[in-house]
Structure 1
């Protein structure tokens, strides 16, 4: 009988060699059940040895720097950000989470559109630095360059004393069954506090984040009020999202021209 360690090493080797594997094929190749393979993939994903996706797993690519992410896929992110602007009401205190799509959203805001913007992203604060009618508040904490965010106990304490009207939360992965997730445990704690301290919440998600797997959950799908997706988001995924959270307002951004 094949040991679990041997089986998992075989899975890692297959991913490294082929770049992508399917759970059904692995189950047949390793003479075990798909449930066992899916459990292996979850554990290997959590250990950072691969990235679990719907139906299997792919090789885990190095995470681009925040600066690289901030300038990549800008037309797609701007289309999502444009829809997020409609969530802001006059007089709102808006809490903007770090993230490249959220930075695109901040750059589209007009001075005075919100009463106050609070953020854990120095880049977002700098993007709004010339505002005069909107107060801009940068949370304290330890700066994480890879995330482009301040994090840690100081950040969490300030969030727990805040009551925002609207939270624009960053989402690394969204799944109709699992909910909202991210790759970092500390980041998940910060995001959960943002949702808990806000009257309304919204997120904008690129297609590659849909059904994607991330190790640390920070919220249920029903905790979101608004979700903005790309125009060509898979219809079956949209249907599953609506089934899991019937009250969730899902909107599609304008189609980005090639």
Structure 2
């Protein structure tokens, strides 16, 4: 039965969570119709709930969460948006020097599209990203130490943080589970957030790459304050109104 009246974002998300708890899943088209909002609004709600670890998005809706999603599963989600972000970010990567890539699938997409460099060393805590970089002419990939997270495939933990803390880079390219003007960037995994904080602290510049569904989303663990970020790259046109809350905080690409 359709819900009458206007619900706040918090009320909608509570309703969506209740539906997933009760039925195991929720469908975007059905939820939009019954809650009286657009499908895009429901998609944004589901992205926020996924970043908070409440559920996991699937084609056409969402299902109960079971912790952070595996790398291969995340890689298939939002492929077009990740490609667009990678295309926009590619020109920010220098031809030479030392930089760092996080373990996100968005940045792994960038690694696969990077193209030849002159003499570039890239640190990463993702085996999949390392594999993509091995094939790029002029790039020397280095894998940080650490313990593999069986949920995500990322190398995390004290050893990953310690090795990241010993190395200084010119640029850190990262994604996040969500980004909010006040809360900053955040992750569903505490361990992943810790590694990103260290990598950002050792970089001269940080570029944050997120798709539109993560805007306004605050996940479990803070990874970066927006004052640490120089450029925000999304799949949206830079003039899109959805980016207005970020204009005074970061450069938008």
Normalised TM-score (structure 2):
0.73
1:85 match:
90
> Conserved in 1, the CA contact under 8 Å of 2:69 and 2:152?
no
CA distance in 2, matches of 1:238, 1:132: 35
Distance 1:14 1:108, change over 3 A: closer
The alignment status of 1:221 with 2:226, answered yes or no, reads yes
CA shift, 1:209, in A, is 0.9
Bigger mean CA offset, 89-98 vs 128-137: 128-137
CA shift, 1:135, in A, is 1.3
1:133 match:
138
Normalised TM-score (structure 1):
0.72
1:256 match:
none
CA shift, 1:145, in A, is 3.3
State the Cα RMSD in Å: 2.9
CA shift, 1:13, in A, is 4.7
> Conserved in 2, the CA contact under 8 Å of 1:99 and 1:148?
no
> Conserved in 2, the CA contact under 8 Å of 1:166 and 1:200?
yes
Distance 1:131 1:15, change over 3 A: closer
CA distance in 1, matches of 2:104, 2:153: 7
Aligned mate of 1:147, from 144, 152, 166: 152
Deviations 1:23-66 (A, max 9, x none): xx9xxxxxxxxxxxxxxxxxxx97x5x36xxxxxx975445421
Aligned residues: 210
CA shift, 1:125, in A, is 0.6
CA distance in 2, matches of 1:242, 1:250: 7
CA shift, 1:15, in A, is 6.2
Determine helix, strand or coil for the equivalent of 1:202: strand
CA distance in 1, matches of 2:223, 2:119: 26
Aligned mate of 2:205, from 177, 200, 205: 200
CA shift, 1:221, in A, is 0.9
What pairs with 1:214-253 in structure 2 (closer than 5 Å)?
A: 214-231=219-236, 235-243=240-248, 245=249, 248-251=250-253
CA distance in 2, matches of 1:146, 1:122: 14
Distance 1:233 1:60, change over 3 A: farther
> Conserved in 2, the CA contact under 8 Å of 1:89 and 1:114?
no
1:111 match:
116
* Unaligned segments of structure 2, at least 5 residues: 1-13, 36-50, 56-61
Bigger mean CA offset, 59-68 vs 144-153: 59-68
CA distance in 1, matches of 2:186, 2:129: 22
Task: Point out the structure with max Rg over C-alpha.
Answer: 1
* Unaligned segments of structure 1, at least 5 residues: 1-9, 26-44, 52-57, 252-258
The alignment status of 1:178 with 2:183, answered yes or no, reads yes
Distance 1:15 1:136, change over 3 A: closer
CA distance in 1, matches of 2:170, 2:64: 37
CA shift, 1:102, in A, is 0.6
